[in-house]
Structures are given as structure tokens and as C-alpha cells.
Amino acid sequence: MNDLIRTLAVSASGMEAQSQRLRHVSENIANTDTPGYRRKTVDFMSALRTGDPDEAVRVGPVRLDRRELPMIYDPGHPLADESGHYQGSNVDLVVEIADAREAQRSYEANLRLFDQARQMSSSLLELLRR
């Protein structure tokens, strides 16, 4: 039964990590047109690397994308300098949509794993009742 609980914990931690990733992706999409906004990225860490026995997957620190911000020419913009340029956002919508889809599919895979483990434990308890 301990392996079943561990399987459920691994699956649940994976779902939590993907939901946090999706939250950051949605923040990036929402701030695509925000001047000076830097894309947020997250890394996943294994509990084996961190020494934490309770979680199998956790989200590492949120990092800002250090790529150069594009300079946008709009002399009428309030943030424009004397040459008419201001710093835009380094968010690429195509990348963000791909990341969102990947996070969604990973979440669904963890959900299926969780459901399979739950069904297996239910079947085991039913067999033990007989």
C-alpha cells in the first residue's frame, strides 16, 4: 500500500508543478504587450536532487528570461525616449502557446496516472473483501 500512496503523491506533485507552470505561462501571455516585461520561466526539480522525501516533483525558482528586450519605434508612446523607441516585451506568443499545450498534456498524463492508481487500489480492496 505504501507504493500506491507514493504513486499518488508523485502524480499529485506532477499536477501541482504543471499547474504552477501554466500559471506563469498565462502571466507571460497576459503581459505580451507590457513594455519592459521579461518572460518568466520555471524549472522542475526532482526530490531526489533536493533530498525532500515527501515530494517527487517540485517547481524550482522562477527565472526571468535574460534575452534582450526588443526596441519598438513609437514616438507617440509615453515611455518612448527622444529617438522614439521604448523597450517592448520579450514574450513570444508561439512559444507560450506551445508551453501551455505541453503543460496541459503533462497535467492530463499525471491525472490519468492518478486515476489508474486509484482504480488499482479500489480493485485490490474489492479483491481483499472477497
Whole-prediction pTM: 0.79
Q: Is the dihedral of CA 71, 73, 77, 83 positive or negative?
A: positive
Q: Show the beta-strand stretches assigned E in 1-130.
A: 40-41, 44-46, 57-59, 63-64, 71-73, 85-87
- Comparing 17 with 46, which gets the higher pLDDT? 17
Q: Tell me, what's the pLDDT at 7?
A: 83
Q: Tell me, what's the pLDDT at 47?
A: 57
Residue 78's alpha-carbon distances to 73, 87, 111, in angstroms, are 12, 12, 47
Q: Tell me, what's the pLDDT at 1?
A: 55
Average pLDDT, the chain: 88
Q: Tell me, what's the pLDDT at 21?
A: 93
Average pLDDT over residues 60-73: 92
Q: Can you tell me the distance from the alpha carbon of 65 to that of 91, in angstroms, rounded to the nearest whole number?
A: 9
pLDDT digits (tens, 9 = 90+) for 24-51: 999 999 999 999 999 999 988 765 555 5
